[in-house]
Chains A and B, each alone.
Chain A
């Protein structure tokens, strides 16, 4: 068995008295694409945000290549290796597409401007955004913003990318362009954790599907297992609701 890139053990997260994550055990190996599905409020996004330490876990540990990310690693160095793509894009509004993809490289990775620029151009081309390098986020459509955001994450040369409902804020016609970028990324061997409501993506692209319910991982397996033959009642009712829509 190959080494776990990220391993989450007994993760618990509470906001005051509201316990969002009860006891999460989760891991991902290199090159794997894992889709996390489940109804709203089941804790999917919170889990992802805990992995990137945007939320501080209440209890439990998160290991990156076997090292505890809270005690053994420097947060900024860890985050640089674990990219994140948000539902609301979170591009820097004061910078254009190219600068958005360069800033992390020059400040965190201390790359030269020329190197950062070349790298940014490379990834902006991969997501098909080369024509828009001079555009500010407010001048781009949702799908275009999300593709720039993916390029920004990729430009840091991360080992893992976390996607937090990357298509939920998009018009239906723009969902496709973002999903196709993610699909290519998955095929190229990037390690990805994708929190999503796109069941087709979860079924067709991911190596493993994790179903979360009520702060716990309820069921997980290959897409065929989870979609074809769900074992748990919660999974069945969630999927039937989704697939009948």
Chain B
């Protein structure tokens, strides 16, 4: 019973603070994941550009690819907590002690880190698309960029959504490391509640429950989004061209479409 007492004590005293920490956790992880996704998509498109004939373009492309590879390897190969310290204090070092505002700094760190992972996810997603999709587009004269934009990326997005959701969930949890530079997110307030109330177990139990609620909600929402992207299994057959309102709904959930 005393645990419940502890929890309710911590909550009544520090609940508002902890709740305000949720806002920063959510904001940083959402924006960080979205920017990371954009970085990943751009890198993925650049990495799959077919070999150009022009030698100058070829050299430029090789250099860009090399930079992307270094970026991916470095940011995947080091802990985000260390990256946070280096980016935050590195900025201060080079700007005579002036520091970045904390929440934007957190967003930058999470974005860059997530971008490195999603670059690899996107690359895998593009490789997994059937070669025929590229050839179909090429055969009617579409450029690499047009093909990517209209044909490949929409399919890649559907395929990588589970992995990107995973990154998002990881980010909700991993924003907790940003407390090392003092970002006031959920963990930061939970830790300060623990320190000030001496009710360590109760404080972190609250944080744990909130983290789980956040990730579980997000997982369910994204699962729903996946279903939406997948689209309906039904389509509308038009009875005749002269009477396009004569629609027949064909259910293809079981078996193939019926010939009407």
Contacts and interface: CB of A to CB of B under 8 A. Distances in A.
Size bracket of the A interface: 35 or more
Interface string A53-71: 0100000000000000000
Query: For chain B, what secondary structure do more than half of its interface residues adopt (helix, strand, loop), or is it mixed?
Result: mixed
B260 A92 contact: no
Contact of B141 (A93, A96, A104): A104
Given A103-B151, A131-B260, A135-B257, A90 B235 contact: no
Contacts, number: 97
A209 to B, nearest CB: 24
A54 B238 CA distance: 36
A93 B152 CA distance: 9
Interface string B115-150: 000000000000000001101111111110010001
A92 B235 contact: no
Contact of B135 (A75, A90, A96): A90
A133 B236 CA distance: 8
A138 to B, nearest CB: 9
A83 interface: yes
B136 to A, nearest CB: 3
Contacts of B146: 107-108
Nearest to A125: B241
A54 B135 contact: yes
A125 B240 CA distance: 11
B150 A103 contact: yes
A123 to B, nearest CB: 13
B239 interface: yes
A132 B154 contact: no
Nearest to A81: B141
A141 B237 contact: no
A94 B136 contact: no
Interface string A138-181: 01110000000100110010000000000000000000000000
Contacts of A91: 136
For the complex of A and B, 7 pairs with smallest distance between CB atoms:
A90-B136, A80-B141, A104-B140, A84-B139, A90-B132, A79-B141, A76-B141
